[in-house]
Amino acid sequence: MEIWPGKSYPLGATYDGTGVNFALFSEVANKVELCLIDDEGAETRVELPEVDGFVWHAYLPGVQPGQRYGYRVHGPYDPANGHRCNPQKLLLDPYAKAIDGQPDGDQSLFSYDFDSPSEDPSRANVEDSLGHTMMGVVINPFFDWGQDRLPRHEYHNTVIYEAHVKGLTETHPDIPEEIRGTYAGIAHPVIIEHLKGLGITAIELMPVHQFVNDFTLRDKGLSNYWGYNTIGFLAPHNGYAAYGTRGEQVAEFKGMVKALHEAGIEVILDVVYNHTAEGNQLGPTICFRGIDNAAYYRLVDDDKAHYYDTTGTGNSLLMRNPHVLQLIMDSLRYWVTEMHVDGFRFDLAATLARQFHEVDKLSAFFDLVQQDPVVSQVKLIAEPWDVGDGGYQVGNFPPLWTEWNGKYRDTVRDFWRGDSATLGEFASRLTGSSDLYEHSGRKPIASINFVTAHDGFTLRDLVSYNEKHNDANGEDGNDGENHNRSWNCGVEGPSKDKRVNALRLRQQRNMLATLLLSQGVPMLLHGDELGRSQGGNNNGYCQDNEISWIDWKLDQDQLDLIAFTQKLVELRRDHPVFRRRRFFAGSADHGGESAVGDIAWFEPGGNHMDEDSWANGYARSLMVFLNGQSIPEPDTRGQQTLDDHFLVIFNGHHDVLPFVLPGKEYGERWVTELDTFAQEVEAREYKPDAKVKAHGRSVIVLRCPRPLPSGSPAGAAAARR
């Protein structure tokens, strides 16, 4: 075999049409062997002859796509000082662009004896892990993208749909069985038509980076369904491939992105750069641990045999190491430039900010993202918390970023379950959470609004269960959140009571209406538009089965809920007053009112909300006026954005309430656009000062069509602007 020196950049295995350049970083190694694995599992070892800047490299002419490979790194095994090299372990390339296999949990994957765990270097396990671990696969990077272009929807026009590749497609009867649960399944016309019909502009896929199925879960007959256990940051997960795993998954993923882009749908990836699948000091040696443990992981300062963990998974990546930062940035850039994705949602993003101990929004990671000409131009969404000290950072990320707004989720849930003293907080969340984002120069689009996500109850379960029901997880109910801010509407779980079921459907409509009519960027959890249930399981991370998959056998109530969701998205899309790019001119407190008349808040009796109204901890209802002719941002032609006026009535009280509409200075004629009390809404008209009956726990949307009378205060305010 010819072995040429090759180059130290780029890292990974790079095919150029005639051969492959291999490059691996390890500062601690004293020798690195490239291992080529044939179809029978036999190994050919090639010592990498060159090292530059701690990158070991070689070029092998004649090596072709589909070639499986790994590394053996020779160096110190000294856990007390943070080093865990063990050449008996075949190691995965951190830059592998495709991966074959899954670790099987065999003793050989571990650097200690199961029966006598020890950190003594003389007791290191010397069993060879070849045949029990995963391997990198050389890929062919060439793909016909045709006329593919990123849709580049502006944030204020964006509606996000959080979905799981398998859960979304596994049971759909119109998808061929052989591609259900795969990237090809997502690309199937029936899924794309469903997303387009809903008005979705971006699908946010739960982790598709290559992840490891936890051995402990597998022993229980379960699996890591969610995928927050990444091992390959540049490789699409092989378990979601329909057409093979020897590199074919890369082309299949690209085909999925291309199909979604053709439909005008962006692809956002949920990415896990805060930890890896190797766990704590008792975890397997699959990749980073055996390559350069002290460079890749945060270790306890005075006890380097143990890992500093802010993620609850056993380890955290060392965000102040330049090679870790390079890996993350190279990964992000690769997914944008080569895989054409449109953005990222960063799991436990507060960990990425921990350059040292505390969370620091000025850490090196954010500096790198800010200055990167590729990564800085796509959608960047933070999950702004982790489990470490000071980890809850909602509202504190840099201006380039948007955030999952956990306070929005909690407030909306509290309002609709009838919690006390929520009116002011509810109004603030409804208007874009200026109290969280305006101080840093951000706008309403910084808030990714959601009521439900993969972690927790589905929307249907949120109104059907007071308590979690996680027995199937095998953890004696100790897993999952205990404080769900849910309300079962009077009966725990499924009910045959028609009144209970009607209330549950109305509560789902209420929260969908609140979500899609709030300022900010709405995110739907897949299946919430059709009433998906997990049977009260609020932590389906290990349930790769009917508990977590969407059941596409829909009854009439579910079909009606889809139609209702479609109408809400259309209402938002057609009326910019619900998706403003700037905050209302009123103060941040309680949504505020201002002299320009862009927003006004009313009690049910028709009076303006005052300090006593906001402070009334027993109040459950309010009405908001949205001025469609006082929107500060211009439209695409540079003209003033004009819209109809809207009144939105929120009755969180359990009984019917009459709402008195404001006087004619706010509008001469009001038409019912939506009422969550009923699926079909009678288009009634109301005059100023009329009374509107709002049923218990309902939302009513009234529209005042343009034009306004020229002498009205609202019209005059718009003219002044």
Indicate the pLDDT class of residue 268, thresholds 50, 70 and 90: very high
Order of all β-strands in the sheet with 685-686: 599-602, 621-626, 645-651, 698-704, 670-675, 685-686
What distance in Å separates the CA atoms of residue 102 and residue 227, rounded to the nearest whole number?
13
CB atoms within 10 A of CB 696: 16
Residue with tokens 């469903």: 194
Q: Which residue has the higher pLDDT, 397 or 155?
A: 155
| pLDDT tens column, 422-475 | 899 999 999 999 999 998 899 999 999 999 999 999 999 999 999 999 999 999
Burial of 299 (0-12, 13-18, 19+ CB in 10 A): buried
What distance in Å separates the CA atoms of residue 299 and residue 302, rounded to the nearest whole number?
9
Distant-in-sequence, close-in-space partners of 705: CB < 8 Å, separation ≥ 6: 644, 669, 671
Amino acid at 89: K
Averaged pLDDT, 96-119: 88
Q: Comparing 82-91, 283-292, 471-480, 705-714, which segment has the lowest mean pLDDT?
A: 705-714
Q: Give the dihedral of Cα atoms 707, 708, 711, 716; nearest 10 deg.
A: -90
| Cα 498 → chain centroid | 35
Q: Which of 32, 17, 42 is nearest to 73 (CA)?
A: 32
Beta strands in 391-536 (DSSP E): 402-404, 447-449, 521-525
What distance in Å separates the CA atoms of residue 39 and residue 366, rounded to the nearest whole number?
43
Q: Classify each residue of 352-384 as buried b or exposed e, where b means 16 or more C-beta atoms within 10 Å of its C-beta.
A: bbbbeeebeeebbbbebbeeeeebeebbbbbbb
Give the CA radius of gyration of the chain: 28
Averaged pLDDT, 131-138: 98
Indicate the pLDDT class of residue 420, thresholds 50, 70 and 90: confident
Distant-in-sequence, close-in-space partners of 166: CB < 8 Å, separation ≥ 6: 181, 182, 225, 240, 544, 549
Distant-in-sequence, close-in-space partners of 544: CB < 8 Å, separation ≥ 6: 166, 222, 223, 225
CATH superfamily name and code, 589-704: Golgi alpha-mannosidase II (2.60.40.1180)
Evaluate if residue 12 carries a pLDDT over 50. yes
> In the 8-state DSSP scheme, what is residue 502?
H
What distance in Å separates the CA atoms of residue 256 and residue 225, rounded to the nearest whole number?
20
Averaged pLDDT, 570-589: 88
Bridge partners (DSSP) listed for residue 25: 55
Evaluate if residue 719 carries a pLDDT over 80. no
Indicate the pLDDT class of residue 393, thresholds 50, 70 and 90: confident
Geometric angle at alpha carbon 638, from 635 and 644, rounded to 5°? 35
What's the pLDDT score for residue 718? 45
Secondary structure in 3-state letters for 121-183 = HHHCCCCCCCCCCCEEECCCCCCCCCCCCCCCCCHHHCCEEEECHHHHHCCCCCCCHHHCCCH
Evaluate if residue 587 carries a pLDDT over 70. no
Strands 202-205 and 160-163: parallel
What's the pLDDT score for residue 360? 63
What distance in Å separates the CA atoms of residue 105 and residue 108, rounded to the nearest whole number?
8
> In the 8-state DSSP scheme, what is residue 39?
T
Helix (H) / strand (E) element for 473: namely none
| Cα 437 → chain centroid | 20
Helix (H) / strand (E) element for 184: namely helix 183-186
Could you check whether 12-138 and 589-704 share the same CATH topology? yes
Q: Which of 4, 24, 2 is nearest to 13 (CA)?
A: 24
Q: Which of 444, 584, 451, 575 is nearest to 156 (CA)?
A: 444
Indicate the pLDDT class of residue 392, thresholds 50, 70 and 90: confident
Domain boundaries, the chain: 12-138, 161-577, 589-704
Q: Which of 310, 335, 651 is nearest to 514 (CA)?
A: 651
Evaluate if residue 588 carries a pLDDT over 50. no
| pLDDT tens column, 145-183 | 999 999 999 999 999 999 999 999 999 999 999 999 999
CA within 13 Å, CB half, 645: 29
| pLDDT tens column, 226-238 | 999 999 999 999 9
| Cα 587 → chain centroid | 30
Evaluate if residue 711 carries a pLDDT over 60. no
What's the pLDDT score for residue 148? 97
Indicate the pLDDT class of residue 720, thresholds 50, 70 and 90: very low
What distance in Å separates the CA atoms of residue 239 and residue 245, rounded to the nearest whole number?
8
| DSSP-assigned letters across all residues of 51-96 | EETTEEEEEEET--TT-EEEEEEE--EEGGGTEE--TTS-B--TT-
Catalytic residues: 347, 383
Evaluate if residue 590 carries a pLDDT over 60. no
Q: Which of 245, 239, 119 is nearest to 180 (CA)?
A: 239
CA dist 703 to 599, 683, 686, Å? 14, 10, 10
CB atoms within 10 A of CB 50: 16
The answer to whether 275 and 283 have CB atoms below 8 angstroms apart is no
Indicate the pLDDT class of residue 34, thresholds 50, 70 and 90: very high
Averaged pLDDT, 667-675: 96
Classify 199 in phi/psi space as left (phi over 0), alpha (psi -120 to 50) or beta: left
**Two tokens at 514?**
């609140």
Architecture of domain 12-138: Sandwich (2.60)
Percent of the chain scoring above 70 in pLDDT: 94
| Cα 259 → chain centroid | 21
Distant-in-sequence, close-in-space partners of 719: CB < 8 Å, separation ≥ 6: none
Number of H helices and E strands in the chain, helices first, is: 16, 31
Mean pLDDT of the chain: 93
CATH code linked to domain 161-577:
3.20.20.80
Averaged pLDDT, 322-331: 96
544: helix, strand or coil: coil
What distance in Å separates the CA atoms of residue 553 and residue 542, rounded to the nearest whole number?
23
| Cα 235 → chain centroid | 18
The answer to whether 186 and 161 have CB atoms below 8 angstroms apart is no
**Two tokens at 94?**
């951190």
